[in-house]
């Protein structure tokens, strides 16, 4: 938070506006997501939050359509990768390794990201976000059982982590364990009923099962949540 505030202050946005924007970002992210998982930047005279290929203005909630992001990322990625490689020599705490994992993750350095998250977990076995992110990378590699185990361990440490519950639902669905996936998605909704993607996935699964009423209910909730986000 302080590092981000310093960067915004250097952009001369004004203290009141800077803190209003940071509070908005904090409110818009799930409670278990650290500010370091996104990039908060000053672009021209506005504050912009960037997360992979998504961008939005926290003050208005408006999504930004930026068709040059992918091209820019390709140019910046080598610089980020080089800086992260250099920083590896000085990483000593679990949080520093986790931050390195995020840097490698965002430029697609899969093996380096996995290694950094593993180092974070070796230093702090209770680091939930490192466990979730490592699980996500293994999930992408179709190492479903390993990913499932990491998500379940994350939920044991932090039972109210909606991301771990949602990811668990996805990996169970990918393994064909539909009933277990529904249970995991329902658990995610019990933690945070406002996650649109959970409603969408549940609607699909209920539709596949022939439960038209439940499917319609979750599709309606999904549409309402997405519509509110786009307003």
The torsion of the CA quartet 208, 209, 214, 216, rounded to 10 degrees, works out to 30
Q: Which residue has the tokens 């946005």?
A: 13
- Does this model's pTM top 0.75? no
**Number of domains the chain is built from:** 1
Per the domain annotation, does 170 fall within a domain?
A: no
pLDDT given at position 181: 95
pLDDT given at position 108: 80
Grouped pLDDT means (10 residues each) for the chain, 231 residues: 54 60 66 62 66 62 52 55 63 85 82 90 94 94 96 96 94 94 96 91 89 91 71 46
Per the domain annotation, does 45 fall within a domain?
A: yes
- CA-based end-to-end distance of the chain: 27
Under 8 Å between Cβ of 147 and 139: yes
Residue 33: domain span: 2-56
Per the domain annotation, does 31 fall within a domain?
A: yes
Q: Which residue has the tokens 């680091």?
A: 127
Per the domain annotation, does 43 fall within a domain?
A: yes
Token pair listed for 34 = 């650290």
Under 8 Å between Cβ of 163 and 132: yes
Residue 66 Ramachandran class (φ > 0 left, ψ -120 to 50 alpha, else beta): beta
């Amino acid at each position: 938070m302080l590092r981000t505030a310093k960067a915004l202050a250097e952009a001369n946005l004004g203290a009141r506006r800077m803190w209003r924007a940071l509070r908005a970002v904090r409110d818009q992210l799930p409670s278990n997501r650290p500010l370091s998982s996104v990039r908060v930047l000053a672009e021209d005279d506005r504050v912009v939050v960037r997360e992979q290929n998504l961008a939005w203005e926290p003050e208005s909630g408006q999504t930004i359509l930026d068709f040059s992001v992918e091209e820019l990322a390709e140019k910046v990625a080598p610089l980020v990768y080089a800086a992260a490689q250099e920083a590896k020599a000085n990483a000593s705490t679990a949080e520093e390794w986790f931050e390195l994992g995020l840097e490698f993750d965002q430029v697609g350095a899969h093996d380096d990201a996995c290694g950094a998250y593993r180092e974070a977990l070796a230093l702090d076995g209770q680091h939930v976000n490192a466990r979730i992110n490592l699980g996500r990378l293994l999930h992408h590699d179709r190492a479903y059982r390993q990913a499932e185990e990491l998500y379940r361990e994350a939920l044991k440490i932090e039972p109210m982590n909606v991301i771990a519950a949602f990811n668990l639902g996805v990996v169970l669905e990918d393994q064909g364990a539909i009933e277990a996936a529904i249970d995991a998605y329902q658990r995610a909704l019990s933690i945070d009923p406002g996650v649109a993607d959970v409603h969408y996935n549940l609607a699909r699964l209920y539709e596949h099962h022939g439960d038209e009423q439940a499917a319609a209910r979750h599709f309606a909730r999904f549409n309402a949540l997405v519509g509110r986000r786009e307003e």
